[in-house]
Amino acid sequence: GAGVSQSPSNKVTEKGKDVELRCDPISGHTALYWYRQSLGQGLEFLIYFQGNSAPDKSGLPSDRFSAERTGGSVSTLTIQRTQQEDSAVYLCASSLSTGGFNQPQHFGDGTRLSIL
Amino acid sequence: QKEVEQNSGPLSVPEGAIASLNCTYSDRGSQSFFWYRQYSGKSPELIMFIYSNGDKEDGRFTAQLNKASQYVSLLIRDSQPSDSATYLCAVNLGGGADGLTFGKGTHLIIQP
């Protein structure tokens, strides 16, 4: 596809359940990022991957959150034992590479997660 | 603590006028600066990016960067009702710490 693809687009689950969110980046983009946006809040950085490695995990809110990327492409963000405060839109972005300069990140449509 | 500050608005501008959106950032080592537009219920869409002091123009949009003042702005000329959205300023430290730090956005309303 031409853009970043995320699935599912919506997820409703009960508190305490585990959820897995998927992101398929733009073809050729080696860097992949996860953010979340809570209602009325700004975008919060969670984690990024360069290839299959995650140099920066500093944004993960707790040890219930984990992410992996295999084959330098698709990434999954897993939230274990979900809590109501995990309800948010989870956004994935990709870019050509890390390194800062001139590597704009392009976002997918997000997964809207609702914890009952 | 990296911070990016924006006036939340709403900023109301008449159609055809220039809309001026401002952003300040706290980390003097920041290297790249991005403006995203976000319509309600949608994901952020890249508008412009800038990394050197001065102005960068793309169509009706001009990004301005002043690293000494730690200030970046976005000008929208000939504002259209379709420009009504929330505009997010994002800053990238660079050098491997590549998660963007976002401001909370300015809600822009273009009045027909």
Q: Which DSSP string corresponds to A7-57?
A: E-SEEEE-TT--EEEEEEPPTT--EEEEEEE-TT--EEEEEEEETTEEEE-
- Phi, psi for residue A23 in degrees, rounded to 5: -135, 130
Dist CA B8 CA B87 (whole Å): 9
Average pLDDT, chain A: 91
For residue B51, list chain A residues with Cβ-Cβ distance below 8 A: 101-102
**How many C-beta neighbours within 10 Å does residue B106 have?**
22
> pLDDT at position A92, please?
97
Degrees (nearest 5) of the Cα angle A84, A85, A89? 100
Q: Order the strands of the B71-76 sheet from edge to edge.
A: B4-5, B19-25, B71-76, B61-66, B54-58
Quick one: pLDDT band at residue A101, thresholds 50, 70, 90? Answer: low
Report the alpha-carbon distance of residue A15 to residue A115 in Å, rounded: 6
Helix (H) or strand (E) holding A98: none
CA gyration radius, chain B: 13
CA-CA distance, B61 to A98, in Å (whole number)?
26
Q: Does B41 touch chain A (CB under 8 A)?
A: no
Residue A55 near chain B (CB below 8 Å):
yes
What was the pLDDT predicted at A12? 97
pLDDT surpassing 80 at residue B5: yes
pLDDT digits (tens, 9 = 90+) for B37-78: 999 999 999 999 998 999 999 999 999 999 999 999 999 999
User: Looking at CA atoms only, how far is residue A27 from chain B in angstroms?
Assistant: 18
Smallest Cα distance from B13 to chain A, Å: 22
Mean pLDDT of chain B: 93
d(CA B15, CA A115): 41
B97, pLDDT greater than 70: no
Looking at residue A55, its pLDDT comes to 81
pLDDT at A102: 56
Q: What is the pLDDT of residue A1?
A: 53
Does pLDDT of B95 surpass 60? no
